[in-house]
Amino acid sequence: MSVLITNIGELVTNQPERDAGPDPGGPGAFAAMAGAALVIDEGRVAWTGPASRAPAADEMADADGRAVLPGFVDSHAHLVFAGERGAEFAARMAGQPYRAGGIRTTVAATRNASDDQLRANLRRLAAEMLAQGITTFECKSGYGLTVPDEARSVSIAAEFTPEVTYLGAHVVPPEFDGNPGGYVDLVCGEMLDACAPHAQWVDVFCEQGAFGRDEAAAVLAAGQAAGLRPRVHANQLTAGPGVQLAVQVGAASADHCSNLAGADVEALAGSDTVATLLPGVEFSTRHPYPDGRGLLDAGATVALATDCNPGSCFSSSMPLCIALAVREMHLTTREAVWAATAGGARALRRSDVGHLGTGARADLVMIDGPSHAYLAYRPGVPLIAAVWRAGKRVA
Ligand SMILES: [Zn+2]
């Protein structure tokens, strides 16, 4: 069953002159065409081009001049948890600072929750994301922090996404107060053994109050030895060693990047490590935004992600991230949309999503507006008109 979507006002493909056959080449630079059409077949993009030259298909949908984009790729989210921290947010807005230790509140609630409660919460958040155009998402553990609680976290996450990240090294849990080395040993040993079968990625929160450079390096090395690929929570609250470590180990991404030294920007620009910016966090913690413009100007690859989590940013809205990136980090609308689609795909080392070249998975978002710029131009307005995932209309 093939579907032709025609009369597309602007089709964002992120795939300039790279359509060459059934194997997707992966996302390229931002690219878009006006007056376009797209054919979906067998869950893949089978054809894109001018609407006037579109081939016939079994079914037809009329975009009525609206824009169609690749589905958003959210490469950073923490969705396995219980409880909520609305009161902490309100207190923060009333003047209390954000600290990494707030994670412990969610750890306590998560440990007390049943598997079914965790699963139901994740199912609700995954549906919330999909309705807002996120067709691929990464999901981290990190609120269990015991062997069984981390193991069930990655196992439940794997029911919803292939992009599962083991984040046992999120924060040192209370029972290891005064013995962080003992906790790192657990994270690198028994906990890793229990989690690795369900995960693709290993991550560590490299930050004052969480894990220092050597501890973080040990966690990443152990994860890599177990077959997991590294990514790092880096330079969120302080200009620490996280970014340099991420680049040194060849991490797919260094996430946050809110406090960078010049050498950090240079290191990112000279590497394959994607700088993943999470502006919802700065919005929700009232911290200064990362220098997205500076990273792009230096030549770094930038992704945007939600960091949806109950503490520092309880938003699953990629359009909000795009609007913030444009307004607060001085990305152009094209750069922001690219970062939320192709950039996220790069951060997950995926070539089948984040673009709409021939052969890409048919993950599409149609927005109520004639161009991608509407995502920043009309902030806070629900603009997602339709969503397809793997060729199936899902919202
Ligand atoms: Zn995070």
Report CA(281)–ligand 1 centroid distance (Å).
9
**CA angle, 124 then 100 then 343, to 5°:** 60
Task: Pick left, alpha or beta for residue 9 (phi over 0 → left; psi -120 to 50 → alpha; otherwise beta).
Answer: alpha
pLDDT band at 186 (very low <50, low <70, confident <90, very high): very high
Asked whether residue 20 carries a pLDDT value surpassing 50, the answer given is no
For residue 233, how far is its CA from the centre of ligand 1 (angstroms)?
A: 6
Q: How many CB atoms lie within 10 A of CB 167?
A: 30
What are the helix (H) ranges across 211-291?
A: 213-225, 242-248, 262-269, 279-285
User: Using an 8 Å Cβ cutoff, are 234 and 243 in contact?
Assistant: yes
- For the stretch 150-175, pLDDT in tens is 999 999 999 999 999 999 999 999 99
Residue 24, pLDDT > 60, answer no
Report percent pLDDT > 70 for the chain: 96
Give the model's pLDDT for residue 101.
60
Gap from CA of 19 to ligand 1 centroid (Å): 35
Over the chain, what is the mean pLDDT?
95
pLDDT band at 26 (very low <50, low <70, confident <90, very high): confident
Residue 50 Cα to ligand 1 middle (Å)? 40
Q: How far is the CA of 76 from the centre of ligand 1 (A)?
A: 6
> 178 CA distance to ligand 1 centroid (A)?
24
Report how far apart, in Å, the C-alpha atoms of 104 and of each of 110, 142, 180 are. 10, 10, 15
**Structure confidence at residue 28 as a pLDDT band (50, 70, 90):** confident
pLDDT higher at 87 or 233: 233
Q: State yes or no: pLDDT of 116 exceeds 90.
A: yes
Mean pLDDT of 226-250: 97
Q: pLDDT per residue over 54-107, tens digit each?
A: 999 999 999 999 999 999 999 999 999 999 999 999 988 998 876 656 788 899
Ligand 1 centroid – CA 93 distance (Å): 20
pLDDT at position 291 is 97
Give the Cα separation of 354 and 339 in Å (integer).
Answer: 9
Task: Output the furthest CA–CA distance in the chain (Å, rounded).
Answer: 69
Ligand 1 centroid from CA 59, angstroms: 41
Question: Residue 391 Cα, ligand 1 centroid: separation in angstroms?
Answer: 30
Residue, of 298 and 105, whose pLDDT is higher: 298
**Ligand 1: distance of its center to the CA of 75 in Å?**
10
pLDDT tens, residue by residue, 357-390: 999 999 999 999 999 999 999 999 999 999 999 9
CA 260 to chain CA mean position, Å: 20
Helix, strand, or coil (residue 203): strand
Ligand 1 centroid to residue 290 C-alpha, Å: 15
How far away, in angstroms, is 244 Cα from ligand 1 center? 18
Report the distance separating Cα 136 and Cα 73, nearest Å.
5
Distance 187 CA to ligand 1 centre (A): 18
What sign for the dihedral angle of Cα 344, 349, 350, 355? positive
Q: What are phi and psi of 289, to 5 degrees?
A: -75, 150
Q: Which amino acid is at 74?
A: D
Residue range 239-259: average pLDDT? 97
Q: Which burial class, exposed, middle or buried, applies to 95 when counting CB atoms under 10 A from its CB (0-12, 13-18, 19+)?
A: exposed
The residue among 279, 301, 303, 304 whose CA lies nearest residue 290 is: 279
Ligand 1 centre to CA of 43 (Å) is: 31
What is the number of H-type helices and E-type strands within the chain?
15, 16
Length of the chain: 395
Q: What is the pLDDT of residue 27?
A: 77
Decide if pLDDT at 15 tops 90: no
For position 23, what pLDDT does the model report? 53
